[in-house]
């Protein structure tokens, strides 16, 4: 009987262990409420803390670390991971960036390049690139990336699009049967630059009394000055 009694001393604790484990898993854990852990990465500490606590979780900052790609006081890492089920009341540990501050980009559209440079310098924002595009507002900022009002990391750059003189092109027509008055009127209407020179004792090859420095059928820029020779 002694060996039976000894066996009971060994078996009973094992049975109690399994019963306890079963009770814990099937009763206690099932009665605990689980929720989905929110995603707080990229949010500032105040916003993240409010979001976590609103879900019935606790919020804790593990440490701060230097990150140049994440703004100051914003979350870089979180544990447990975002969007996974977790028990209510669990602590969400986060790592916070000590990176650069966020700066609001000013509205620069309509400003000259010089004024835009001064405004950006005051806000510690660099001009990453300047692109000149054909536009009626020559020398002015006609567009920008990012747009005015958006937030970027301090010391990051913006791209400015500056208006440039629009280049127009014309085709020189056949002026054999055209007189000077008609040609001048056409030039003035198209706002072309021209200069009239009167010659004596010369005859054109075509037999016309008018010759231009740009031959008929030639494409030329609107900014080019045309020389009109008149016999």
CA distances to 40, 213, 224 from 193, rounded to whole Å, are 64, 12, 7
Rounded to whole angstroms, the Cα distance separating 54 from 182 reads: 81
Judge whether 137 and 107 are in contact, CB under 8 Å. Answer: no
| pLDDT at residue 81 is higher than 80 | yes
Say whether 83 sits in a helix, a strand or coil. Answer: coil
Name the DSSP letter for residue 44.
B
Residue 217 lies inside a defined structural domain of this protein: yes
Average pLDDT over residues 158-173: 86
Q: What is the pLDDT of residues 18-74, one digit of tens each?
A: 666 555 555 554 556 888 999 999 999 999 999 999 999 999 999 999 888 888 899
Which of 21, 24, 42 is closest to 32 using CA atoms?
Answer: 24
135 and 159 housed in the same domain: yes
| pLDDT at residue 207 is higher than 60 | no
Average pLDDT over residues 161-184: 83
| pLDDT at residue 183 is higher than 70 | yes
> What is the four-CA torsion angle of 153, 155, 156, 162, rounded to 10 degrees?
130
**pTM for the whole structure:** 0.47
| pLDDT at residue 227 is higher than 70 | yes
Q: In which domain, by residue range, is 123 found?
A: 102-164
Per the prediction, the chain carries an average pLDDT of 82
The number of folded domains in the chain is 3
pLDDT at residue 174, rounded to an integer? 83
Instruction: Please report, for the domain that includes residue 218, its CATH number.
Output: 3.30.10
| pLDDT at residue 205 is higher than 80 | no
Name the DSSP letter for residue 178.
-
| Buried/exposed code over 32-44 (b: 16+ C-beta within 10 A; e: otherwise) | eeeeebbebbebb
| pLDDT at residue 110 is higher than 90 | yes
Rounded to whole angstroms, the Cα distance separating 212 from 231 reads: 12
HSE (side-chain half, CA atoms, 13 Å) at 110: 3
Residue 21 lies inside a defined structural domain of this protein: no
Which of 92, 85, 37 is closest to 59 using CA atoms?
Answer: 92
Which residue reads 């016999």 in tokens?
231
Q: What is the pLDDT of residues 120-155, one digit of tens each?
A: 988 888 899 999 988 888 889 999 999 999 988 877
65 and 124 housed in the same domain: no
CB-based contacts of 126, cutoff 8 Å, min separation 6: 120, 155, 156, 157, 158
87 and 110 housed in the same domain: no
142: buried, middle or exposed (CB in 10 Å: 19+, 13-18, 0-12)?
buried
Average pLDDT over residues 197-201: 76
107 and 149 housed in the same domain: yes
87 and 41 housed in the same domain: yes
| % of the chain with per-residue pLDDT over 90 | 38
Of the two residues 211 and 94, the one the predictor is more confident about is: 94
Count of H-run helices and E-run strands, the chain: 5, 15
Residue 9 lies inside a defined structural domain of this protein: no
């Amino acid at each position: 009987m002694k060996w039976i009694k000894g066996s009971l001393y060994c078996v009973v604790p094992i049975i109690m262990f399994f019963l306890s484990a079963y009770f814990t898993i099937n009763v206690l854990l099932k009665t605990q409420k689980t929720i989905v852990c929110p995603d707080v990465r990229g949010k500032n500490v105040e916003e993240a803390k409010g979001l976590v606590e609103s879900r019935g979780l606790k919020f804790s900052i593990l440490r701060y670390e230097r990150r140049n790609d994440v703004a100051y006081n914003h979350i870089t890492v979180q544990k447990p991971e975002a969007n996974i089920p977790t028990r209510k009341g669990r602590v969400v540990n986060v790592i916070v960036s000590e990176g650069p501050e966020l700066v609001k980009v000013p509205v620069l559209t309509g400003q000259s390049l010089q004024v835009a440079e001064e405004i950006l310098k005051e806000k510690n924002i660099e001009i990453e690139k300047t692109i000149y595009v054909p536009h009626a507002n020559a020398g002015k900022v006609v567009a920008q990336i990012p747009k005015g009002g958006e937030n970027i990391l301090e010391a990051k750059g913006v791209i400015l699009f500056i208006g440039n003189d629009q280049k127009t092109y014309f085709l020189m027509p056949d002026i054999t049967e055209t007189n000077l008055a008609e040609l001048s009127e056409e030039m003035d209407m198209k706002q072309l630059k021209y200069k009239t020179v009167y010659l004596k004792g010369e005859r054109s090859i075509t037999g016309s009394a008018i010759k231009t420095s740009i031959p008929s059928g030639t494409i030329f820029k609107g900014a080019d000055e045309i020389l009109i020779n008149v016999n």
